[in-house]
């Protein structure tokens, strides 16, 4: 399978590509995020989770490493917008807090195996026209490179992402609402790692049954709710160990694990180092 990187490491981290038309294409993946806008024509989008019909107004994200392709294309015209948020000065914490951003960018692609393409974003004709106009403004900055073009291009991309997040948050289909509710649960978990978190409490917050929440987590992350929470806690613990000299017991408490010895055993099982050894390794590298 071919890997296509639309962004070069030394180039500006936004690239817009027009496919006029997009022909049938075998499975490939990308080393970059790819936002796809279907402008005209028809065809089918292939992923390992299934094959989905495409029509003008369909908007979807292709995450890094996700195999996909196109078939049965007939006059299919699309716009690929590739970007690397880690190399742009975007307010990612604010973007991620928008009700529709994480569902569009992170969760819907993961849930296609469970939902088909039912949870994707589809725009009406006028909404699509406005979005294409915004992409045109972004392209103009990338093309002319007038003074300050990098900041202007980032600002146009931000407008596009905010617009799409708002559109996604307005979707009423059952599949899309499930994705949005799952995103609200994840947002709550990520901001309350120090608090007790249980399945019953989270299912109420997500307005879904415990079994539905478990299925959604397994479809999106390949793990149970409890396992995913533990992974987030240990991930946060690694960040705190690297960023501060707080006592290990205090860090354990900050990620919701009150027993420091239990925390150390969990950390070592995951990272293959004790928390102290992990922090000492950071100190040796820094020196």
Q: Which fold has domain 2-89+129-164?
A: Jelly Rolls (2.60.120)
CATH number for the domain whose boundaries are 228-286: 1.10.10.60
**pLDDT tens-digit readout, 162-200:** 999 999 999 999 999 999 999 999 989 988 999 999 999
* Alpha-carbon distances, residue 118 vs 66, 111, 121, 163, 178 (angstroms): 18, 10, 9, 20, 11
The yes-or-no verdict on residue 152 having pLDDT over 60 is yes
Has residue 31 got a pLDDT over 70?
yes
- 9 three-state secondary structure: coil
Predicted local confidence at residue 10, as pLDDT:
87
90-146 pLDDT, tens digit each: 888 888 888 899 999 989 998 887 788 888 999 999 999 999 999 999 999 999 999
Burial of 8 per CB tally in 10 Å (0-12, 13-18, 19+): exposed
Q: Tokens standing for 189? A: 């978990």
The tens digit of pLDDT for each residue in 44-62 reads 999 988 999 999 999 999 9
The pLDDT value given to residue 93? 82
- Residue 284 pLDDT: 57
User: Are the beta carbons of 88 and 13 closer than 8 angstroms?
Assistant: yes
Least confident of 9-18, 162-171, 274-283: 274-283
The domain spans of the chain are 2-89+129-164, 228-286
Residue 249, pLDDT above cutoff 50: yes
User: Both ends of the chain: CA-CA distance in Å?
Assistant: 42
Residue 220: burial class (beta carbons within 10 Å; 0-12, 13-18, 19+): buried
Segment 190-233, tens digit of pLDDT: 889 999 999 999 999 999 999 999 999 998 888 999 999 999 99
Note the pLDDT of residue 182: 93
User: Distances from the Cα of 167 to the Cαs of 11, 98, 132, 191, in angstroms?
Assistant: 30, 11, 14, 24
Check residue 287 and give its pLDDT: 46
Asked if residue 286 has pLDDT above 60, the reply is no
The SS3 of residue 220 is: helix
């Amino acid at each position: 399978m071919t890997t296509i990187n639309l962004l070069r490491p030394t180039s500006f981290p936004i690239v817009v590509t027009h496919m006029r038309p997009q022909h049938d294409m075998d499975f490939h993946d990308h080393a970059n995020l790819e936002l796809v806008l279907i402008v005209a024509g028809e065809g089918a989008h292939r992923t390992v989770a299934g094959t989905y019909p495409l029509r003008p107004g369909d908007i979807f994200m292709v995450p890094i490493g996700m195999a996909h392709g196109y078939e049965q294309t007939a006059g299919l015209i699309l716009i690929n917008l590739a970007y690397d948020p880690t190399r742009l000065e975007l307010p990612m914490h604010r973007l991620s807090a928008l009700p529709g951003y994480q569902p569009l960018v992170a969760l819907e692609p993961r849930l296609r195996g469970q939902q088909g393409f039912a949870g994707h974003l589809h725009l009406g004709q006028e909404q699509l026209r406005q979005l294409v106009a915004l992409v045109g403004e972004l392209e103009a900055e990338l093309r002319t490179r007038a003074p300050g073009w990098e900041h202007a291009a980032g600002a146009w991309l931000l407008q596009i992402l905010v617009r799409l997040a708002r559109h996604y948050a307005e979707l009423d289909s059952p599949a899309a609402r499930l994705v949005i509710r799952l995103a609200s649960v994840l947002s709550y978990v990520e901001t309350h790692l120090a608090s007790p978190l249980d399945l019953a409490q989270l299912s109420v917050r997500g307005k879904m049954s415990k079994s539905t929440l478990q299925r959604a987590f397994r479809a999106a992350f390949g793990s149970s709710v409890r396992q995913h929470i533990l992974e987030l806690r240990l991930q946060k613990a690694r960040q705190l160990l690297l960023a501060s000299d707080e006592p290990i017991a205090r860090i354990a408490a900050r990620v919701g694990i009150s027993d420091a010895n239990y925390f150390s055993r969990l950390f070592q099982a995951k990272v293959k180092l004790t928390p102290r050894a992990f922090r000492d390794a950071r100190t040796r590298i820094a020196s």
